[in-house]
Every structure is written in structure tokens, then in C-alpha cells.
Structure 1
Amino acid sequence: MPVGTVGTVKGMTMDAVRSTGAGIVLGNTYHLMLRPGAERVRKMGGLHRMMDWPGPILTDSGGFQVMSLGALRKLDADGVTFNSHIDGSTHRLTPESSTRIQHALNATITMCFDECPALPATPERLAESMELSMRWAARSREAFVPREGYGQFGIVQGGTERDLRARSVRALTEIGFEGYAIGGLAVGEGQELMFATLDFTTPLLPERQARYLMGVGTPDDLLGGVERGVDMFDCVMPTRAGRTARAYTERGTLNLRNARHADDLRPLSPHCDCLACTRHSRAYLHHLFRAEEMLGPTLLTWHNLAYYQRLMRTIRAAILDGTLPDLAPRLRAHWAAGDWTEDEFPQPIPPPVP
């Protein structure tokens, strides 16, 4: 899911986002409740109308952002009181208010309100947090208004502790949700430990409901997550990388600020049909970033989103035809091989059609 935190995928029109093949985007309760405000979004016709996005929208509950505020927030059994990072004003989120705000936003998929502690953390701290999150999950579900075509996801917590994750899954499946998210990962534990946690968590989740790994990640993270049973992902990485001159390709990551691209007339990738690759050269993209022109981040964001969607389509096709075990090592070998050589990929961008 491309991330549209405040009602926009940064640097992109929604037509451009659609052109990448994306079918669902993400918004964020915390940011939207502060600006422009949930009631104002509702008056604008909801998040779909405001963003010009007719497809599904998932909204993060705001729990992760609130927990990231550190000293600016105070946690209690009922919810969280916090100061806005924008103007210092005081606000409060509870499971009930988070769910109501997401309803006002008209989120297609509502996330339950949870606490997400940073890792590493002691087992005692993780257990306390998980149990609080499960109580909040029950309250979030009680506050959710069922509507046809809409749903709510529970969030599995428990850090990297096997028994805590199992207890969390049991509590959530007893409540019953339309889908299940795996939270509390990609928060400092590293890929190896994240994958190990997925190894014992995803098999516990219902097979016929979506499994969503929150806040992940690199192309290799996505591939490893799918291999371990994950269906859905979101991450700011492709858009953030686009704004900082990094392009994801089948041969790893390119830094477009690097001087070696200054005279390179080839596109970023021979396999991509995005606007950056079909109309512009690496040399031009390098120039845009060196000149600090806003078109550079836009084109590279467009490319990265297109690459992520193409990667997921490729993985999905391999699952359907039973070839994922063969595809996965090939993808990883290509990422590790580095950029194409001139002999492998010599063609420049074709001239524009008059």
C-alpha cells in the first residue's frame, strides 16, 4: 500500500498512483485528526473524495504515531493523552475515539487502537503492552460500526516473544476481525529477528483472512514476508527514497546523486514502464536532483511505487503457478548483482514522438 499519511501520497497525483497498479492506499488517523481534522474531512465527502481515490483506503489507528511522541504523551489504561507535534495543543485518543475518527474519515479498513513499544524491550514490558493492546482491541471492536464492504483489523502484539504473540493471536481471534495485522515489528529488531518472529506468528493466524505486516519495508523484506505467509504491506520507504534520490530496481538501489549518472542516457530500468523510465534518462534525473528541482522527487517516487507494485505482481503470479521457491533466490541474486553493465543494458531512452 502506498502511504498517503495526510491525505496525499507525497509528490504524486492519485492518477499517477493508480498508474503504478496500486489498488489500495493508506492514511493516518493521528495526522488527519490534527490537520485538517476528521470532521472537516467528513464534510469534504470523506477521505476517498478528498484524496480523489475511489479504491479502498486503510487508516492506521494513530497508536504508533502517538507512542512515538515520547515525552509528549501520557499513557493510561483508558487511552493516551498527547501534545500535537504541530502546535503543542493537547489531545486524547482512546480505542473508541480512534475508531470513531476512522469512521468519520470513511476508512474502508479501520485498524484497532494499540500500543507499540520500541524494541528491544523486556518480556515484562512486552507482556504489559500486549495485554493492554488486547483490551483496547476489544473496545475498538465494540465501537466499530459494521457496514457492507468495510472491515476492521486486529493487531497482533508481543514483540519477539513467541508465547506473547500466541496469546495475542488467541485474544484477537476470539474477538473476531475481518483481517489481522502483525504490529510491533520493524521497530529496531533487525530483519533476521523480524523474520524469526513471523515464522512462529503467521502460522497461528486464520488462513482465509488477510495478514498485514505493518510498516515494512525493503523489497527483500516484502519477499521474506510473503514467504512467511504475509499478504499486505505498507511502508514510506519507496516514497521517501524517491525524495532522497534513491531508485529501487531489479538490480538493487541506485543513488541518482552519484556523478556516474551525469552522462548516462539509459533509463533507470529496462523493465519499467513508468514515466521516469519511458521518457527520461538517468542523466536527466541526476540533473534534476543536483538542480534541486521538484520534478526529480516526483519522477523517482513514481518509479519506486511502480517497481514495488510490479514486484508484488511478480510474486503473486509465482504463488499462483507454484514457482515462488524458484523465483525468490533469483530475485535476491539480481538485487545483489548490482547495476546492469553497459553490455547488459546499452539502450538509451528513445527520442520523443513529435
Structure 2
Amino acid sequence: MPSPRFAFTLSGTDGAARAGTISMIRGDIRTPAFMPVGTAATVKAMKPADVRASGADIILGNTYHLMLRPGAERVARLDGLHAFMGWDRPILTDSGGYQVMSLSELRKMSEEGVSFKSHLDGSAHMLTPERSMEIQRLLGSDIVMAFDECTSFPATREESSASMERSMRWAMRSREGFDAGEGHASVSALFGIQQGSMEADLRKISADKLIDIGFDGYAVGGLAVGEGQAEMLRVLDFAVAMLPADRPRYLMGVGKPDDIVGAVERGIDMFDCVLPTRSGRTGQAFTRNGPINIKNARFAEDQEPLDPACGCPVCAGWSRAYIHHLVRSGEILGAMLMTEHNLAFYQALMADLRAAIGEGRLKAFADGFRARYLRD
């Protein structure tokens, strides 16, 4: 059963796409939702108030990185992650499962969990489903993710099946570990993560096992790991419908704006990705006519805003020429302005998607968006 502190209601559908609201103690989350990534208790180059002003209802933190620095126990002594970073709205925490894959040279995996060597100082750590639940409880996470193994790509069918089955055993242990923290469990939610790589039958087995265990929401994991957009969307064509229609569906680690549009068309409700913030720090701005590299010389005397169709404070206040100068000069303000614009662009896209779904015109909006964004 859903947590009494967690409710998901739909306000509109258009084909497989849904618009709705996740209601939690710390506030409502409008869906489809994009969660800015605050890996180390900060959305890089942004103050929390500015993240909220961009339109974000929820942000993401990372169990693995916060476990290493400053440490979950320390965050708990400092009144939890919300107070620590000055963000009073919902926070979803990644369980650390992605690092099982991405830090493969630094870890050893067993049925118990994953032993890591810290990428910071080489110190030894053990991350299990139970420890992941404990860390997320100490952080005070609102939406806790089950601990899983993110299957690498490419993988053989045998590897994909074994990885998925292990994730399902860990999902049960995550459920038990989450429930053991009764006070935290009564005010937060737990999401399970579907695995199975690119195989429809493995995805179905995974979904059925997760449903049997019971979660407040369900994530599609193991995508955006190098398979490419076409393959990702092919998997979403069958994977999303395997998950309960009355719970939120979260596509982890996605993605580019056109990835998001395609996934919303297939019924995904929640997204996260480092792309808008990382791109902002490296000179890429997202616009409705496609991304631009502000470092290019052609912008040195361009008095247009980053995106003439954008109403964000950055586009209202500064020109491409000025931001080009800042970024080329390595000025911190350049990264700040680029990041603020990119997050505003993503949140405006989510608002446009919600409106299009509510008004029954998603196909026209999506086709029009792709025609402009991908025109080159």
C-alpha cells in the first residue's frame, strides 16, 4: 500500500503520457518532473532558492558521495540533509547502485553487497541494501531508492538475468531495511527499480517481483548507460507498461531534452540528469532551437539572449556576448548564469509538457519541439 505520507494523483492523460501530482509532507511535486542533481548536497553553481525559482519541486542527492563526504552520520547530527543544504522541499536520494557499475574498478560485489574503495582516499567501505537504507534514513530523504545493481551495457543475456535477479533480492532487503526505520518510513517513500537490460522478458520478471514486494513508486533502471536513444525508447515501449499505472514511474539518469520528450510520450513521470548543470559549467546552453556552445567566436558580439524565447532571469538580463566573455575568461559568474538558464530551460520544458498533456495536444507539441530542437 502507498505510504500515508505519499500520494500520486493524475490530473490528465494523453495517450500513454500522464500529468499529475505527487503529494508529500514537504510539498507537492508536479509531474512530469525534472529533478536537478545535487550529488554532494549542492546543485552545482546554484543557491537553493534559485533552484526553486527555476521551477524545481524536488532535487536529487547521492547516497554514495554523501556517505564518503561529509558522512551520513555527520549530516544527521547537523539536522539532516534539508537543513544542512538549505532546501526545504522534497529530496530523492539515489541508493548508490549506479556507482556499483560506474566505479567498477574500485569495487568487489557479493551477495551481501558491494565493497568499495573510496575514489577520494582509497578507504574501504561496504554498501549493502541495509546500509543504503540506513544512510538514506540518516540523510532524511523523502524518496528513498532501493539498492540495486545497475546492469552494465553491453551485457550478455546471462549477465543481464543474473544482475536483475540479484537486484530483486536486494529490493526485498531494501524493503525490509526501509520498514525497519519506522519513524522515517512513516513520513517518506520507497521506490523499487526495474532491471533486465534490453530484454523484455527479463524486464517483466523484474516488474512482477517488484510489484509483489510493493513500492510507493517504480523506476526504470539500467538505461542511459550507452545504449543510445533509439534503443532506450525501444525498451521504454514495453518496459513502462509493466509498471503499475497508479504509481509514479521514474526514468533514472535521463537525459537530453529530446530524450525526456520521448520518454514522457511513453508514460514516464520523473527524470534526473546532470546534463543541464554540467553543460552549464562547460559552455553549452540549451535553447528551443537546439544547444549552443557559447564559447564559439560567433557569439562574441551577439547581443541576443541565450534563448530569445526564454523568460528566465539570465535571458532577461544578459547577452550572449557577455556570457561568452565570462565563460571564455573562466569567470565563476559564467558557470552560474549558464547553469541557471539551463535549469530554467528544463523546468520550462516540463511545464510545457504538463500543459500539453492536460490540453490533449502532446503529439503536436512533441513533434514541434523536435522539429525545432533537432533541426540541424
What residue is the counterpart of 1:206 in the other structure?
244
Question: Pick from 195, 208, 212: which aligns with 1:174?
Answer: 212
Tell me by how many angstroms 1:293 deviates. Answer: 0.3
- TM-superposed CA distance for 1:65, in Å, is 1.3
CA contact (8 A) 2:100 2:150 kept: no
Q: Is the 8 A contact 1:30 1:66 kept in 2?
A: no
One of 277, 280, 288 as aligned partner of 1:242: 280
Q: Distance in 2 between matches of 1:227 and 1:71?
A: 37
Query: SS where residue 286 of structure 2 aligns?
Result: strand
- Give, in whole Å, the separation in 1 of the partners of 2:72 and 2:374: 45
Secondary structure of 1:249's aligned partner = coil
How many correspondences in the alignment? 338
1:282 alignment partner in structure 2? 320
- Of the three residues 365, 368, 373, the one matched with 1:327 is 365
Shift of 1:337: 3.4
Partner residue, 2:159 = 125
Q: Could you tell me which residue of structure 1 aligns to residue 221 of structure 2?
A: 183
| Counterpart for residue 9 of structure 2 | none
**Residues 250-306 of structure 1, C-alpha deviations (whole Å, 9 max, x = no match):** 100011000000001111122322222111000000000111101001100000000
> What 5-or-longer segments of structure 2 have no aligned partner?
1-34
Identify the residue that residue 44 of structure 1 maps to in structure 2. 78
Give the aligned partner of residue 22 of structure 2.
none
Selected match of 1:305 from 338, 343, 357: 343
Radius of gyration: which is bigger? 1
Alpha-carbon distance between aligned partners in 2 of 1:309 and 1:161, rounded to the nearest angstrom = 32
| Deviation per residue, 1:79-126 (Å, 9 max, x gap) | 011100000000000000000100000000000000012111000000
1:188 Cα deviation from its structure 2 partner:
1.0
Percent identical among aligned pairs is: 58
Counterparts of 1:140-159 in structure 2, within 5 Å, are 140-144=174-178, 145=181, 147-159=185-197
SS of the equivalent of 1:312 reads helix
How big is the shift at 1:67?
2.5
Counterpart selection for 1:62 from 93, 96, 107: 96
Secondary structure of 1:234 counterpart: strand
In structure 1, runs of 5+ residues without a counterpart are 339-354
Question: Match of 2:125, as an amino acid?
Answer: H
Q: What are the within-5 Å matches in structure 2 for residues 12-161 of structure 1?
A: 12-144=46-178, 145=181, 147-161=185-199
What secondary structure does 1:268 align onto? Answer: coil
Shift of 1:72: 1.2
Corresponding residue number in structure 2 for 1:343: none
SS at match of 2:111: coil
TM-score (norm 2): 0.89
CA distance in 1, matches of 2:340, 2:128: 36
Q: In structure 2, what is the Cα distance between the partners aligned to 1:14 and 1:336? A: 32
1:309-334 deviation line (CA, Å, top 9, x unaligned): 00001001111111101111000011
Distance between the aligned counterparts of 1:273 and 1:168, measured in 2?
A: 43
State the distance in 1 between where 2:201 and 2:374 align. 35
What secondary structure, in the 3-state scheme, does the structure 1 residue paired with 2:196 have? coil
Query: Which one is further off, 272-281 or 201-210?
Result: 272-281
Which residue type is aligned with residue 78 of structure 1? E
Please report the TM-score for the alignment, with normalisation by the length of structure 1: 0.94
Q: Distance in 2 between matches of 1:149 and 1:104?
A: 13
For 2:334, the aligned partner's letter is G
C-alpha displacement of 1:66? 3.0
Contact 1:157–1:168, Cα closer than 8 Å, also in 2 = yes
Taking only aligned residues, the RMSD between alpha carbons, in angstroms, comes to 0.9
Structure number with higher strand proportion: 2
Amino acid at match of 1:52: G
Shift of 1:15: 0.8
Name the CA distance, whole Å, in 1 between partners of 2:113 and 2:328: 46
Contact 2:92 2:142 in 1 (8 A): yes
Q: Distance in 1 between matches of 2:334 and 2:110?
A: 45
- Once residues 63 and 218 of structure 1 are traced to their aligned partners in structure 2, the CA distance between those partners, rounded to angstroms, is 22
Counterpart for residue 350 of structure 1: none
d(CA) in 1 for partners of 2:187, 2:265: 28
Cα distance in 1 between the residues matched to 2:44 and 2:54: 14
2:253 and 2:199 map into 1 onto residues whose CA distance is 19
* In 2, Cα distance between equivalents of 1:124 and 1:264: 54
Partner letter of residue 284 of structure 1? Answer: Y
Higher relative contact order (CA closer than 8 Å, sequence separation 6+):
2
Whether the 8 Å contact between 2:151 and 2:164 is mirrored in structure 1 is no
- 2:329 pairs with 1:291: yes
